[in-house]
Every structure is written in structure tokens, then in C-alpha cells.
Structure 1
């Protein structure tokens, strides 16, 4: 697979009012790979994902290209973007309670989303909803369909939000800080799920996070964003074990388990890379 089958960001600039948020960034999303976009709050990570979905503020000005399916998403009319958003490009947000309707059953939320984009029958939509819950490993999916969001834990809700994002079988998945709102004990399970879905479904995933520790166990490639510019980009191993930019080194030094050249999760990145090369 190549970027022609995924999504390519080229020289993307975004300005809101007098402030330029992104300063000409370029990034490739390739099927079957997770590309991490790391940086502090305010670096421009989330707005990059929103630009891919055409969800920028009305006063935003853009330049460059976001190429997907042979078209530049930045120049598509809203009607065309609506066909892509949620169907061909899915998104998982930080807080699942904010992305799920509290008054609708899980079945209704999954089937409504699917039918709005694909027009399948109610019966087919229910079958697909059940399959989606099985893919994200929600226990007792038949029972889960009948429940409401408040009846699930935060980790299970995030799995359900991921099910909503993948039920239309998108080729691109944007995960914006998908574990930040979760208890540390359930974060690893959600991350393993994202890795498994990427491998199983051939998704091109963009993982947005401030935490390079998350990247170390998940991403194939990492781009480090600082004040709207990508200051470093490369394989997970290269970025985490041999960072070239002082900002990347500062992010690594801030990791709780970091000791000198790296420990814990970052050491795992080296071990995994060496195992692949054996």
C-alpha cells in the first residue's frame, strides 16, 4: 500500500483571523499504518484532523492540499464533504460521552449513522451494528445494543465510539487523544484495539496525542508538531531512540519512566524494531 491509497497532506496552512495556526505541514497516511502526530496543547494537532473532515471554523483560511481519493478535500463543497465525513473518513474524539447521544440506545446511534451514509435497510443496519460491536470487543454485544451510554464504563464507551467510527468501513481513521479521558488501567486495551483494527481492516490511522509514551507502543511513524510546524518526522524507532530536534528530546524527557536515553515504553520501541530486523 502507498499514500495514493491513503491520504496526503501537502503544505497545509490554516489561519484563523490574523493568526496562522499551521505553517505548511506535510504528512502521509498509509493504509495499514498508524501515523502519530505529537505535540503540546496548542501546537495545531487537533485542527489538522478537523481540516481533514472539513470541520474548520467559518472564518478559517486554508492553503495547500489534503489529497484523498484523487481530490483536494480543502476545495470540495460541503455536500461532497458530507459524503466523505463519517463514511470514508471516521473520527474518534477524546471524550466518548460527548460524542454519543445520552438519550439514544447504542443500536439507534450505530444504525442511524450507518443508514444516513449508506441507505441500508434497518435489518442490515442492525446486523452491521452487531458486527461493529464485536470488532471492538464490547462484551455481550446483543445486550449492549439495547443499552444507553450511561450504562457503560468510560473504556466501553470509547470502544462504542470507535464502533460508530468504523461501522461505515472508512479507509481513514482519525483518533484525537483517544485515551486521555480514560483511566490508566483501560488505556492500554483501547490502544491495542486501535492497533488491531488498523492491521485487520487496513485502516490508515492518524493518532493525535501529546504523549509520546502512547506513540511508543502504537505508531509506525511519528511526526512532532510544534507551534504549527513539523519539526521532526520518521519511524517510531528513529524518533524515539534518536531524536534530532530539541523539542522532541524535551517531550521524551517529560515521560514519567524516562531515564537518560530512554526506558520503559521507549525501550520497547527499540526491542520491537530489532525483532523485525532479525
Structure 2
């Protein structure tokens, strides 16, 4: 069984994101970039499934600029066998539907039986690509997975819902999106980083896959949230209730 694991290059989660002065987007100039944390969990889970003998090959894929090769090398250092990069120009905004169409083309090209990807990217928080891919492929899907078990022709997925946990049985092939509590990604060692440099990485163009990646949605403005106002101290409960009632008007 082959697993396809999409990974996205995003601004590192430790970096404070700043909007551009013209409000056209997020400023990523000279900013540290890394693999989307949810995708890192997806790679780790795919590698663990391979180590259990349930999977024969783990293929990492990324869509974006040439610098995404670094993210793919990290995925291969974790344990992916090979990687695919669908390279697009820096000025092109790749939106979830375009990425889902590219992934569909790669699934059909590679003969993949399972797609495991992060539930969302921390830069746009769209949480759409996995669901769109499942719809395009007409495959069953399980989102927000906190536990995954593979059988011969089925996958059992425990997922997090508002009321607790829900367990689903899916027929393969299928699409699974990962949540934070699925696993803790392993530390990438220097020997594995060196080995990753020798693993195959193929670069493709969207046109070669027959996919139109023209944006369907236009971003009107990006702005930072307003700064939080300073709090105040009150002398007693009566003063607190008075302010909540007469100033905040919440009671």
C-alpha cells in the first residue's frame, strides 16, 4: 500500500506573523519557514504505519515554490521514501481547491491507496484541502484523527468531536486528516538528514498534471487583530458588578 502525505511550507509557528503595510498579505521576507506542524504529524503517522508493515511506501508531496524542497527533505528525514514537488511561481497564490486538484492528479498518477495530511495549515487555517480532495476522488474521509489503525481493506479512525471521541470504519482507499493528539513527531537526527539528501525528489509543473491552478477567491485585505486594551482593578465585588452592568453591559 502506498501513502501520499502532502506537506506545506509555512511561517514557523514560533515567529510572530506581521501583515504587509498595504494589507495585501502576510510579510514573509527574511522570515523562518518550516513544515506545517499538522503535516509533520501526518508524516510521522505514515512512517509509523510503514514501520508496522501496513504500508510499503510513503510519498511526500508539496505544492509551491522551489524552496519547498527543504520541507520535503525534512519529510524524507523523518522517514518518507521519496518526494514530489509541484512547483509554482512565487507570485501565484495556491488556494485549497487548486491544491486538492493537484493532489488528485498525483494520487491517480502514483496509484495511492491512502492520503494522510494535516487537518489545516497554520498560515491560512482553511481546513479545506483534505475534504475537497476526498470529494474530488469520491473517497471516504475521516477528519481530525487522534488514532489510526489500518487493516487489509479498511481503516479504523478515532476522531475528536465536541462531545468527546468518535470512531469510524472506512473502506480503502480513503483520505485522513490528522489532529494534534495523533502522535508526537520524532526528532530528526543528522544521519537521517544526510540520508534524505540522497532520496529521490521529482519536480513537476501543474500543466504536466493537466490542472488549472488559477485562484478562485480574491483576498481583499489582511490586517492584524486589534491590540488588547489594558485591564483595570476594582476595589470589591460590588464595583465589579457595577462595571459589568453599567459599562460593559454584559449583565
User: Is TM-score (shorter-chain normalized) higher than 0.5?
Assistant: no
More helix by share: 1
Question: Which of these two proteins has the greater Rg computed from alpha carbons?
Answer: 2
Q: What is the TM-score normalised by the length of structure 1?
A: 0.26
